[in-house]
Amino acid sequence: MSTPAEPSAVAGDETSPATPAPSGSRVLVAWTGVLAALVLAADQLTKWWAESALTVNAEPIPLVGDLLGLRLIYNPGAALSIASGYTWILTIVVTVVVIFIVRAIGRLGSRGWAVALGLLLGGAVGNLIDRLAREPGFARGHVVDFIDYAGFFVGNVADIAVVAAAVLIALLSLRGIGLDGKRHTGDERDESAKPDGDASEPA
């Protein structure tokens, strides 16, 4: 009597989580796209405002004392103006990152990863648009930066989104949470190493 009941229970366990997964995944993908679009819109609108309201390479306008200000510059490189002579290489790298993110979104099963990838995608595309569409030319465009951090470096909204995404990805990785929303740790291996697990493995 117990033998037929066990397979049916197992079958139920296998099919029940598989049924809601596609719809749940579609919702996460949709929210990731919405978040990315919001970040992109905020980035492009603030860059447009900075170009219309600020003067290039002028003295910073203080917002929070000397800690935070507004100063418009055009950055040919990455963060901190690194690799300023290799703008086209940075464009290729960012394009590859965007493609990777888009492909990874299809495997989403975690709200945390959905937020992280949405922020990362919006920020990456925001700066990629600058590199593709701005002067001095296609794939060599300079990124609009206008948020001055105590004179150490100047960034934009896209940079904030990318940094926030990096922090969130680091936290999710430390917790062992994968894109699929499952916690990937060594717990299962530890359990299989117990005496009961050892006895079941030969069988």
Of 43, 130, 145, 148, the catalytic one is: 145
Amino acid at the residue 180: D
Distance CA 145, CA 148 (A): 8
Is 13 annotated as catalytic? no
Number of helices and strands in the chain (H, E): 7, 4
Query: Among residues 122, 120, 127, which one has the least CA distance to residue 91?
Result: 127
Distance CA 119, CA 178 (A): 17
DSSP state of 183: B
Q: What percent of the residues of the chain are helix, what percent strand, and what percent coil, each to the nearest 5?
A: 60, 10, 25
The Cβ of residue 148 has, within 10 Å, a number of other Cβ atoms equal to 23
Helix (H) or strand (E) holding 146: strand 143-149
Q: Is the peptide bond before 20 cis (omega within 30 degrees of 0)?
A: no
Of 159, 180, 190, 196, the catalytic one is: 159
Between the CA of residue 36 and those of 18, 29, 30, 64, 67, what are the distances in Å? 27, 11, 10, 28, 28
Is 130 annotated as catalytic? no
Would you please indicate which residues are annotated as catalytic (active-site) residues? 145, 159
